[in-house]
Structure 1
Amino acid sequence: MPVEASKAPPTKRKPRKLKRLSRRDVLVLSLMVGIPTLVELLLVWGPTLLSIALSFTRWNGLDLSDLKPAGVENYQFIAQDYPPFWPAVGHNLLWLLFLGVIGTPLGLLLAVLLDQKIKGSRIYQSIFFAPVMLSMALIGIIWQLFYNRDSGLLNFLLGTAGTPQAIDWFGDSNVNIWAAMVAATWRHAGYVMILYLAGLKGVDGTLREAAALDGANARQTFFRVVFPAMRPVNIIIVVITIIESLRAFDVVWVINQGKNGLELLSALVIQNLVGEGQVIGVGSALAVILLVISLVPIVWYLVRTFRKENNA
C-alpha cells in the first residue's frame, strides 16, 4: 500500500499591518465626525441644557439684569397655580389614547389589506402615504378647509353649511380636540402603514405555511403567528405613537394657537416663550417636563434594544 505523505504543518499567516491614516484621512474623518457633533451640540444639547438652567430662574427674556434664581418655584407654579397645565396633560393623554386605539390600528389594517397583493396596491400605498410627506402645519390648513363652519365640506355633507345649525368644528371647545385628533390620525395612519408593510414583508413565509398546515385560518395565523413575529416593529410603533402624541403642536397652533379647548404641553411651551407676556422660566420648566416625559419611552426602547443585543 502506498505510504501517505506526511501532512505539512499549516503555515502561520502573518498579521496584517494596520494602515496608518494619512493627514488627509485624519482631516476628512475629523470633519465628518466633528461637524455633525458640533451641529448637535449647538442645536440640540445647547438649547436643552440652557432650557434646564432657565427653568430655575425668573426672567422676562429681554434684560439680563433681571435674570434671577428662582429654585423650583416655576415647577410649583405650574403644578399648583397654572390653570392650563392639567387640561393640557389630559389632552396629551387623550391624544395618545386616540392614536393608539384608532390611528395605529387603522395603519395596521391598511398594511394588512395592501399586503394581499391586490391590483393597484402601489397606487393605494402612495395615496395613503401622501399625508406623511406633508407638514403638520399644512395638514392643519387643509383640515381647516374641510371643517370650516360656513363653507367646509363636512358641514356641506351634513346639510348645515351656512345655517345656524352648522357646527364650528375648530371653534367649539367641546369638539375641536376631536377634530384636531382626526386630522393628526390622517397622517399617523399612513406612517404606521408603511412601517407595518415593511414588517409584513420581513416575516418568514414558512411561518404562515406551518400555521396553514396546522389548520389555522387567516385570522388566527395573523394574530397568533404573524403579529407576534413583528415584535421589533411593534415596539418601534409604540414608541413612535407615544412621541407623536407628546410633540403634537402644529395642528393645534394653526387652528387657534393651542387655546379654547386645544391646550397641549407643546403649545403651552411656545405660549410662554414667544410673544407678549412671555415668562421664560415657566416656558423652560414646561419644556423640561415635556422632555422628561418624552425620554421615558425612548429610554425604555433603548434598554430593550441593548438588552436584546447582549442576550444574543
Structure 2
Amino acid sequence: MVGKGKRATSLTRGERLALALMIGVPALLHVALVWAPALGSVGLSFSSWNGIGGLEDVEWVGARNYVDILTGYPRFWPAVRNNLVWLVFLVLVPTSAGLLLAVLLDRKLRFGRVYQSVLYLPVVLSLALVGFIWQLVYQPEQGLLNNLLGIADSDPVNWLGDKDINLYAVLVAAAWRHTGYVMVLYLAGLKAVDPALREAAALDGANGWQAFTRVVFPVLRPVNVVVLVVTVIEGLRAFDIVYVINKGRNGLELLSVLVTDNIIGESSRIGWGSALAVVLLVISLGFIVTYLVQVFRREESE
C-alpha cells in the first residue's frame, strides 16, 4: 500500500522507448566514435601497416614498434620533454592566473561582466587561429612585440624561428587562451561557495587571505579536479598551434605531431603512429588517474 502523499509511478511503453533512445543512441555513438577507434589503435600499434589494403596486409610485429620508438626514434624524447614542459607551464602559469582573475571578478568589480567577456574571448578562438594571431605578434620585422621592444629594425628576435626560445613563445600564446577558460571554471565555483562560510571566517577574525586559503579554496576541490583534468588534456593533446607555425619542427616537436606525421604523413606508418598514440594515452591517464585516486582517498579519510 502506498503511503499518503506518495504515488507509485511507472513509465509507459512510449516513455521507456524514448528513454532508451535518449540513452542508447548517444552511448552507441560514443562507443563507435571513441572507444572502437581507440581500441583499434591499440591493436594496430602491434602491427606494421602502411594503410593500404585490408587486414590481410597487416603484419603483426608484437612490441617492436614500442621498442623502436623508445630506443631508435630521435624525435620521440624531445617531443616527450616538450609535452611535459607544456603541461607544467599550463598547470603553473595560466591556472594560477585564471584563479587570481576569478577571485578578483568575484568581488563584483565595476564593469566586471565586460572584463569577464574580454578575458574569455580567446577561448572561443581555435588554437589554429591563435597560432595565426601570435605569428603576427612574433614576426621579426613587422611584429608587434619586437616593435614594442624597439628592436624590430636593429636586432630583431626571431621568436618562432629560434629553437631555443620558440617553445616558450608558443606557450605564452597557449596560456593566453587557457587562462580565460580556467577563470570561468573557478568563477563558477566561487559563485557556488556558501556566503555563510566567509561570514563565519570573518567573525572568527580571519583576514581575506586566511579566509580564502582555509575556507574558500578547500571548498573548490571539485573545481580543482576539473581544472587539472582539463589542463592535462589540453597540455598533452596540443597540436593545432604548433602545426600552424612550423608543422611541429625545429624545437616545437610534440607527441600529437608525431602521431599525425606517422599516420597521415608521407611515411604513412600506421603501426608507429598508433603506438605513439597509445603512449600519449598512457601518459595522459597516468597523470589523471593518479590525481583522482589521491583526491578520492583524501575525501574518504575525511
Give the stretch that moved more between structures: 61-70 or 258-267.
61-70
Q: Does 2:110 correspond to 1:133?
A: no
Match of 2:265 in 1: 275
Partner of 2:39: 49
Amino acid of the structure 2 residue aligned with 1:103: P
Cα distance, 1:17–1:118 mapped onto 2, change above 3 Å? closer
Cα separation, partners in 2 of 1:178 and 1:72, compared to 1, 3 Å = same
Matched, 1:157 2:137: no
1:129/1:194 contact within 8 Å kept: yes
Shift of 1:150: 2.1
Identify the range of structure 1 (201-210 vs 82-91) with the bigger mean alpha-carbon deviation: 201-210
Residues 123 and 285 of structure 1: CA distance in aligned 2, closer, same or farther (over 3 Å): same
Cα offset for 1:267? 1.1
Contact 2:198 2:216 in 1 (8 A): yes
Counterpart in the other structure of 1:109: 100
1:273 & 1:209 partners in 2: Cα distance?
57
Q: Which residue of 2 aligns with 1:72?
A: 63
Shift of 1:300: 4.4
Give yes or no for the alignment of 1:224 onto 2:246. no
2:238 paired residue number: 248
Contact 1:151 1:162 in 2 (8 A): no
Match of 1:92 in 2: 83
| Alpha-carbon shift at residue 304 of structure 1 (Å) | 6.5
d(CA) in 2 for partners of 1:93 and 1:20?
A: 51
Query: 1:20 offset after TM fit, Å?
Result: 5.2
Q: What secondary structure does 1:216 align onto?
A: coil
Whether 1:286 and 2:276 are equivalent positions in the alignment is yes
1:195 to 169, 172, 185: 185
| Contact 1:147–1:154 (8 Å) recurs in 2 | yes
Q: Which moved more, 1:113-122 or 1:70-79?
A: 113-122
Q: Deviations over 1:215-246 (max 9, x none)?
A: 22222222222212212212221222222111
> Percent identity at matched positions?
55
Displacement of 1:301: 6.0
Q: Structure 1: state its 5+ residue gaps.
A: 1-9
Q: Which residue of 2 aligns with 1:21?
A: 12
Alpha-carbon distance change, 301 to 93 in structure 1, aligned in 2, over 3 angstroms: closer
Structure 1 residues 118 and 26: CA distance shift in structure 2, 3 A: closer
Query: In 2, Cα distance between the equivalents of 1:25 and 1:263?
Result: 52
Aligned partner letter, 2:79: A
State how far apart, in whole Å, the 2-side matches of 1:175 and 1:97 are.
Answer: 16
Q: TM-score, normalised by structure 1?
A: 0.88
Is there any run of 5+ residues in structure 2 with no aligned partner, and where?
none
Q: Tell me, yes or no, if the aligned pair for 1:58 and 1:66 is still in contact at 8 Å.
A: no
Whole-Å Cα distance in 2 between the matches of residues 224 and 79 of structure 1?
A: 45
How far 1:214 sits from its partner (Å)?
2.6
1:263 match: secondary structure: coil
Whole-Å separation in 2 of the counterparts to 1:41 and 1:300: 25
Residues 162 and 299 of structure 1: CA distance in aligned 2, closer, same or farther (over 3 Å): same
Q: How big is the shift at 1:11?
A: 9.5
d(CA) in 2 for partners of 1:15, 1:227: 41
CA contact (8 A) 2:247 2:257 kept: yes
Contact 2:225-2:292 within 8 A present in 1 as well: no
Quote the Cα distance in structure 1 between the aligned partners of 2:75 and 2:162.
Answer: 17
Question: Per-residue deviation at 1:31?
Answer: 2.6
Query: CA–CA distance in 2 between the matches of 1:279 and 1:273?
Result: 6
**How far apart, in 1, do the equivalents of 2:228 and 2:192 lie?**
19
- Aligned partner of 1:3 in structure 2 is none
Bigger radius of gyration, 1 or 2? 1
Aligned residues: 301
Structure 1 moving runs of 4+ over 6 Å? 304-312
Distance 1:304 1:15, change over 3 A: farther
Q: Distance in 1 between matches of 2:266 and 2:217?
A: 51
Alpha carbon RMSD of aligned pairs, Å?
A: 2.5
